Amino acid sequence: MSDVVERTLSVLPGLLGQHDLGVGLRGAGGPGRVSATSRLGSLIRSITALTSKHEEEKLIQQELTSLKATVSAPTTTLRLMKECMVRLIYCEMLGYESSFGYIHAIKLAQQGNLLEKRVGYLAVSLFLHENHELLLLLVNTVVKDLQSTNLVEVCMALTVVSQIFPREMIPAVLPLIEDKLQHSKEIIRRKAVQALYKFYLIAPNQVQHIHDKFRKALCDRDAGVMAASLHIYLQMIKESSSAYKDLTGSFVTILKQVVGGKLPVDFNYHSVPAPWLQIQLLRILGLLGKDDPRTSELMYDVLDESLRRAEINHNITYAILFECVQTIYTIYPKSELLEKAAKCIGKFVLSPKINLKYLGLKALTYVIQQDPNLALQHQMTIIECLDHPDPIIKRETLELLYRITNGQNVIVIVQKMLDYLKESKEEYAIINLAGKIAELAEKYAPDNEWFIQTMNAVFSVGGDVVHPDIPNNFLRLLAEGFDDGKEDNQLRIYAVQSYLALLKEEDALYPQKFLQVMSWVLGEYASLVTDVDPEVILTKLHSLLKKTYVTSETKVWLMAAVTKLASHTSSSMTVDKLIQEFSNSLDTCMRQHAFELKHLCEDKALMKSLLPFDASCNDIVVDASLSFLDGFVAEGLGCGAAPYKPHHQRQQEKLSQEKALNFEPYGLSFASSVSSSGITGRQSPAGLSFGSDTSGNSAETGHKETNTLKLEGVRKLWGKEGYLPKKESKVGKEDEPQTVSCGSLLAGQMGEPPVSQSDQVASLSEEDKEKQQLASTLFIGLGSSASVSLMGKADTATQKFKRKSKISATQSSEDVTDFQNSAASDFGPLLDTVPINMEGCEGSINTKLRKASLCSSDIVEDNTAFETSQSLKTSGLDDGLLDSRMSQSSLFDGNIEIFQPSPSSHCESASKIPLVLCLPEELEGLAHSEVVELCQSEDLALYFCKVWTDDSLLLTVFVSNKTTSAFNTVNLVFEETEHFQVLESPTYQFPVIEAQSVKLCQRCVWMDKFCTQGILSGSVSYQSEMETCLEFSITLSLLDFIRPMAMTTEDFGKLWLSLSNDVKQNIKLSSSEDSFSAALNTLQQKLKLHIVDIIGNEGILACQLLPSVPCLLHCRTHSGMLALWFRSPCSALPDGLLYQCQKVMEES
C-alpha cells in the first residue's frame, strides 16, 4: 500500500468535519476493501506514486503496450479480457489513446457471459462516439440481446441503445424495442421508452408512427415508465405545443395525484412526493399554457395547490417552487397566482442561501417584463447582490439590470457593468457584457461625451475579443449620423478629441480593434477639429505605424487614415517621410499603400475628388457597364460596326430570318430588346479601384460620349438606380450628386433634442456613498407611473442616437399620421412652398459604410442624371391597333408584337395633361387598366393606371392638385421592395404642380424576385402649410409581368430541353365540347400566353416573365382532363403560373 493512499486517508477526517451532509465519504474500509491484488489496483497505485507527468506518460505507454499484446493474443480468455478492458478504460480516462482496444470491447460485448458482456458494453459506450464506424459491429449483438430471455441482457442492450446507436441502423432494432413497451417488467418498459426517446432525438421521422405508443406509456400503471415518457413529451411539446393541447388535462391530473401524495412512499424524497416528476410536469404545463388562456385555465388550480404544498424548508421544495413560479409567469396570467408567485420570488431573493438567491435573481430577470414593480420591491437586495463576492451572482444581477435599463438609469447601470467588465477575465463574459454595454450606450446615451467615453472603455477593456459588430456599428453610427447635422459634428469632434487625448499617452497599449476605430475616425473627421494641427495627428499616426505591436491589418487602417488626412492638408513633412519610409518596406501591402499615397500626393486634384470629406456614407457605385469604354464604342459605331445586341435579341433575329415568309406582322421585334440592350444603356461611371485612374475620369468621357451617342439614336437608359429619368439640367446635376435621389422626407424630421442629464451625472459621482441613492438612480423610471416603458426596448423617446432610416419608411409613416391628425383641420391656401433643403438628405439613402481601406476606394461618383428617354413606344406605327380602351386580353390576341420602339421619340416623364385623367397619347394605344384612385388629401389626389407595355409594366401615377395654388417640389418616392424593381430612379420630383392641374409620373417596373402578388408602396410628399406626406400602395400581381413570347415550334423544342424546373398538373376541363381550343384561348387571353403550335390534342404555349424569364407550357387533353406541363429556368414561376391557370380555368 503506497503511502499516498494513507496520506489521503489521513486527510479525510479533517475534511469531513467541514460539511454537514448526510453522507460522508469516509475511508472506512481502508486498504483492505480495495482489491489490492488486481492489476488495475496496482496500476492506479503505481500511477499515484509517480511524481511527474513525464513518468506517468511513460508508465501508461508501457501499460498500453502490454495491454495491446494481451488483448490481441488469441489465447486471452474473456475473463482476462474483461480485466484488460477496465484498465483500458482507466488509461483512456487519463487521456491516452487506446483505440486498439475498441474492437475488442465490441467482441467482449458479443461473446462474454453476463459479467463480461456488461464490461464490454460499458467500454463500448465510453470509448465510441455516435458516428464511430465500429458501432455498426455492435448492432448484431444488440439485436441478439434484445431477443434474449435474460432480463439483464435485455436491460444492458436497452441501456447501450439509449446511449449510443447508429442512426441508420434504427430500423433494425425498432420493432424489438417497440415490443419491449409491452414487457411485464417495469424496468424494461422504462428503458425501452428511454431508447425510443433517443431515437426520437436522432431521427424523429423514424418513430413518427409510434406516437400513440408514447401515449400508452404515459398512462402506464408504473409511475417510473410514465415519468420516462414525460421526457419525450417535454421534447415534443417544446417543438410544437399546439399538437398536444389535448393532453393538458392528463398532465394536470397526473400532477394533482403526485402533489396529493397518491404515489407510493417510495417516490418521496425528503418527504416530498416525486419532486423531479413534479418539476417535469410543471415545465410541460408551462409550455402548454403559454399564450393560451383556455389551456391555462385548466392548470390554475393545480399550480395553486403545488405552491401551497411546497412549504417544507428544503432544497427540493424550492426547486418545485421555482418551477411553479416560472410556469405561472409563462402561462396566461392570473392575478391571484401572480401575487403568490411574486411572494415566492421574494422568498428566493431574500434567502440567505446563495443558491436560492441566484435563482431568485433569475426569476426576477424572467418576470421583470411583466412585473417591474417586483424589482422595485427588492431593489436593496439587488444592490447588495451587485457587490456580492460570487461573480456568478454579480453577472446575474447585471443581467437583471440590463433588462431594466432606461434613459434615466443608464449611466449608473453601464458604470456597474464596466466595473464588472474590468474585473472579468473570462472571454465569454467579456464578449457578452461588452455587447450589452455597447447596445445600451447606443440606445440610451444621454450625451455625446458619455457615449464616446463609454465606447472607449468598451474598446479598451474588451480588447480584441469583442464582437466585430461593435466597432462596425459604432463607426456606422458616427458616419451615418443622426437626424441632426450639428449633433453629428459635435459627436465626431468629441470622438476625435478623445482619441487624440488617448494617443497622447506614449506607452499606452490599445487593442488592435480600438486602434482601427481611432484611425478611421481620425482619418475621416480630424479635419473637423480646427484647433489641432493636422501635422500633429499625422505624426501620431506615423509613430503608431512604427510600433511593433501594431498588426499589419491595423497598419492598413492607419495608412488609410494618413491618406485621408493628407488629402486635406497641402503638404506635410510627415507624409513625405512616411512615403519614403514605407516605399521600401518589406511588407508589400504597406509598400503599395505608400506608393499610392505618393502618386496621390502628386495629383492633389485627383486626391480631393477621390477622398471627399464626409462622404463615407455615400454609395460607391460600381460601373458595371464599363461606361469608360463609351468613347471606344462610339468610335467603333462611327466606323460602321454593328451595334451590340443581347443574346436573346440575336437569337430572335436569327429565328425570324430563318423563316421564309413572315406572315405575322411585327413578329420581328422582341419585347425586351430595347430596354436591356447593353450598349444603349450607360450608367454614371464610378471608380472601381484606386489603381485605375481612368475610371475616375471616365465620368467626363462618358458624358461627352453620351451626347454623341445620343445623336446617333443610342439612348442612355440606365442610371445608378436603374432607368435614368430625363433631366434637362444635366450639367447642373452632375455637381449635386444627391439632389435627385432622396425625397425631401428626411429633411423636415430632426432628431429629438438631447435629454438633459446633468442631474444623473451628478448622482453618478456620488453613487458609492449611499446605496439608497444608488437604488434610486438604478430604479428610476421603473415604477408603473413612470412614462418610460420598462423594457426600454420599445422606448424610443429617450433614444438619442436614432439611426436614420434607409428609405425614410418610418419617417413617412410618421408623416402620414401627422397628416391624418391634421386632416380634419382646415387647410388654408397654400403658401409658396419653401425650397426643400436638400443637404439634409444627402447621403441618407445610401448607407453603405465606406471602408477605411484604400483598396476599396473612396471615390464617390456623381449620381449623374443623364438625359434619357423613356422606353415608351410611340403609337405611330400601330395606328391600326389603336383602340383607346383596348382590353388587356385583346391586346395580346395573336402573335403580334404590337409596338415598335422608336428611339427618336422621347416621352416626357411628366407631361402636363388636362385635369381629365387620361393617359398621354402615346400610351393610350397600349393595354392599360382603368385609372384608379390611390389616395387623397385635401390638397392632392393620386390616381394610377397600369400600362402593360411589352417590355415592362408602366405605372402611371397622376398627381392632381386640387387647390388653387401651385405646389413646388412635390416628391414621389417608391419604396424599395425585394420583389419589384422600379427602373430609373425610385424617386420622382415634380418641380411644380400648378393649381387645379394634373401631372403624371411614369415608372417602369420589373419583377425582380418572383412572387405571385406583391405590394409596391410609396409616398408623395409636398409642402403645403407643413411638410405633408401621402402614402399609397399598389398591388401588383404576377400577371402584370407576364408577356407572350413569340417563338417557333423548333425553338420551343430547343428551349424546352434546356430548362430544368418543371411542374405537371392535371386540371379538369369544363364539359363543353371542343374544350381544348377553348381552354387554350382562355389561357391565351387571360394569361397572355403565346400559342406556339397546336397539333391534335396537344398544344405548346410560351410566355415570359419580365424582364426575360421564359416559361414554356405543354398541354394535352385526355379524357376530360387538361394535363399541364410547365418548364422554366425560374423554379417558382411554373408554380405561380399553374395557380393562375387553375384560377382562370375555374372561372371560365
Partner 1 sequence: MSYGWVTPRVAAPVVPRLGGSWELPAQDIHRAEQNHGFSRPCTHGCSSLLSQTEEVQQQIIRETFHLVLKRDDHICNFLECGSLFGGSDYKLIYRHYATLYFVFCVDSSESELGILDLIQVFVETLDKCFENVCELDLIFHMDKVHHILQEVVIGGMVLETNMNEIVAQVEAQSKLEKAEGGLSAAPSRAVSAVKNINLPEIPRNINIGDINIKVPNLSQFM
Window 345 to 364, contacts with partner 1 (CB under 8 A): 354-355, 357-359
Q: How far is the CB of 974 from partner 1 (least distance, A)?
A: 43
Exactly one of 134, 172, 203, 247 binds partner 1 (CB under 8 A); that residue is: 247
Rounded distance between C-alpha atoms, residue 236 and residue 219, angstroms: 17
Which residue number, 267 or 520, has a Cβ lying nearer to partner 1? 267
- Site residues (CB under 8 A) for partner 1, limited to 593-622: none
Q: Which range in 270-278, 730-738, 974-982, 1069-1077 contacts partner 1 by CB under 8 A?
A: 270-278
DSSP annotation of 187 reads H
In this chain, which stretch among 88-96, 488-496, 581-589, 705-713 interacts with partner 1, using CB under 8 A? 88-96
Structure-block grid coordinates of residue 69? 499484446
Q: Which of residues 992-1011 bind partner 1 (CB under 8 A)?
A: none
The span from the CA of 855 to the CA of 596, in Å, is 10
Nearer to partner 1, 34 or 1132 (CB): 34
With CB under 8 A as the contact rule, the residue among 179, 291, 301, 390 that binds partner 1 is 390
User: Is 26 a residue that touches partner 1 (CB under 8 A)?
Assistant: yes
Tell me: does residue 198 bind partner 1 (CB under 8 A): yes
CB of 110 to partner 1, least distance (A): 14
Q: Which residues contact 803 (CB under 8 A, 6 or more apart)?
A: 477, 480, 482
The least distance separating partner 1 from the CB of residue 417, rounded to whole angstroms, comes to: 16
Residue 928, CA distances (Å) to 260, 667, 704, 709, 922 in order = 75, 22, 38, 32, 12
Binding mask 108-147 for partner 1 (x = CB under 8 A): -----xxx--xx--x---xxxxxxx---------------
**Position 243 contacts partner 1 (CB under 8 A):** no
Residues 207-236, interacting with partner 1 (CB under 8 A): 211-212, 215-216, 218-219, 221-224, 226, 228, 231, 234-235
In the bound state with partner 1, the residue whose beta carbon lies nearer, of 395 and 946, is 395
* Cα-based distances in Å from 360 to 285, 311, 397, 875, 911: 21, 17, 10, 78, 70
Shortest Å distance, C-beta 86 to partner 1 = 5
Contacts within 8 Å (CB) and 24+ apart, 1140-1147: 1140/1012, 1140/1038, 1140/1039, 1140/1086, 1140/1087, 1141/1067, 1141/1083, 1141/1087, 1142/1065, 1142/1067, 1144/1082, 1144/1083, 1144/1086, 1144/1087, 1145/1067, 1145/1069, 1145/1070, 1145/1079, 1145/1082, 1147/1086
Is 318 a binder of partner 1 (CB under 8 A)? Answer: yes
Is 1142 an interacting residue with respect to partner 1 (CB under 8 A)? no
- What grid cell was written down for 668? 420581328
Is residue 22 a contact residue for partner 1 (CB under 8 A)? yes
Cβ(904)–Cβ(713) below 8 Å: yes
Q: With beta carbons less than 8 A apart as the criterion, state whether 976 and 1003 touch.
A: no
Burial of 647 (0-12, 13-18, 19+ CB in 10 A): exposed
Whole-angstrom distance, CA of residue 179 vs CA of residue 182: 6
- Stretch of residues binding partner 1 (CB under 8 A), selected from 255-263, 561-569, 942-950, 1102-1110: 255-263
Binding mask 34-53 for partner 1 (x = CB under 8 A): xx--x-xx--x--xx-xxxx
- The verdict on 197 binding partner 1 (CB under 8 A) reads yes
Using CB under 8 A as the binding rule, whether residue 186 contacts partner 1 is answered as yes
The DSSP call for residue 95 is T
Q: Does 204 bind partner 1 (CB under 8 A)?
A: no
Nearest to residue 278, comparing CAs of 295, 301, 302? 302
**Residue among 72, 73, 97, 915 that touches partner 1 (CB under 8 A):** 97
CB of 197 to partner 1, least distance (A): 7
Please check whether residue 325 is in contact with residue 341, taking contact to mean a CB–CB distance below 8 angstroms.
yes
Residues 662, 668, 671, 672: is their CA dihedral positive or negative? positive
Q: CB nearer to partner 1: give 268 or 689.
A: 268
Q: Which residues, numbered 772-811, are part of the site for partner 1 (CB under 8 A)?
A: none
Q: Site size for partner 1, by CB under 8 A?
A: 131
Write down the least CB distance from residue 202 to partner 1, Å.
Answer: 8
Q: Does 275 bind partner 1 (CB under 8 A)?
A: yes
- Rounded to the nearest whole angstrom, what is the least distance from the CB of residue 414 to partner 1 in the complex? 21
- Report the DSSP beta bridge partners of residue 1020: 972, 1030
The CA distance from 742 to 737, in Å, is 10
Buried b (16+ CB within 10 A) or exposed e, 963-983: bebbbbbbbbbbbbbebbbbb
Q: Is the Cβ of residue 19 or residue 769 nearer to partner 1 in the bound state? A: 19
- Of 288 and 495, which CB lies nearer to partner 1 in the complex structure? 288
Decide if residue 274 touches partner 1 (CB under 8 A): yes
How far CA 99 is from CA of 94, 106, 129, 728, in Å, comes to: 14, 12, 12, 80
Residue 380 is a binding residue for partner 1 (CB under 8 A): no
Residue 503's identity, in one-letter code, is: L
Minimum separation from the CB atom of position 114 to partner 1 (A): 6
Preceding amide of 1107 cis, omega within 30: yes
Smallest gap from Cβ 422 to partner 1, in A, equals: 18
Write phi, then psi, for 235 (nearest 5 degrees): -65, -45
Indicate whether 90 belongs to the interface with partner 1 (CB under 8 A): yes
From CA 195, how far away is CA 175, in angstroms rounded?
12
Q: Which of residues 929-988 bind partner 1 (CB under 8 A)?
A: none
State the minimum distance, in angstroms, from the CB of residue 106 to partner 1: 16
Nearer to partner 1, 23 or 586 (CB): 23
Cβ of 987: how many Cβ atoms within 10 Å? 23
Considering only 172, 183, 206, 276, the residue that binds partner 1 (CB under 8 A) is 276
Q: Which is nearer to partner 1, 57 or 752 (CB)?
A: 57
Residue closer to partner 1, measured from CB, 390 or 759: 390
Report the alpha-carbon distance of residue 81 to residue 54 in Å, rounded.
Answer: 28
Q: If binding is defined by CB under 8 A, does position 297 make contact with partner 1? A: no
Span of 310-318, 445-453, 616-624, 946-954 interacting with partner 1 by CB under 8 A = 310-318
* Residue with smaller CB distance to partner 1, 11 or 1026: 11
- Rg, C-alpha atoms of the chain: 39
Contact 206, 199 (CB under 8 A): yes
Q: How far is the CB of 154 from partner 1 (least distance, A)?
A: 10
222 vs 1098, beta carbon nearer partner 1: 222
551's CB contacts (< 8 A; 6+ apart) are 512
Tell me which of 10, 147, 182, 315 binds partner 1, using CB under 8 A. 315
Helix (H, G, I), strand (E, B) or coil at 42: helix
Per-residue contact track with partner 1, 405 to 444, x per CB under 8 A? ---------------------xxxx--x------------
Q: Which residue in 180, 191, 873, 1127 binds partner 1 (CB under 8 A)?
A: 191
Nine cell digits for residue 760? 444623473
| CB closer to partner 1, 426 vs 464 | 426
Interaction residues for partner 1, span 143-172 (CB under 8 A): 149-152, 159, 162-164
Q: Could you tell me the smallest distance in angstroms from the CB atom of residue 96 to partner 1? A: 6
Could you say whether residue 253 binds partner 1 (CB under 8 A)?
yes
Nearer to partner 1 among residue 52 and residue 548 (C-beta): 52
DSSP summary character for residue 204: G
Helix (H) or strand (E) holding 485: helix 485-504
Picking from 868, 922, 884, the residue whose alpha carbon sits closest to that of residue 900 is: 922
Tell me the closest approach of the beta carbon of residue 98 to partner 1, in angstroms: 10
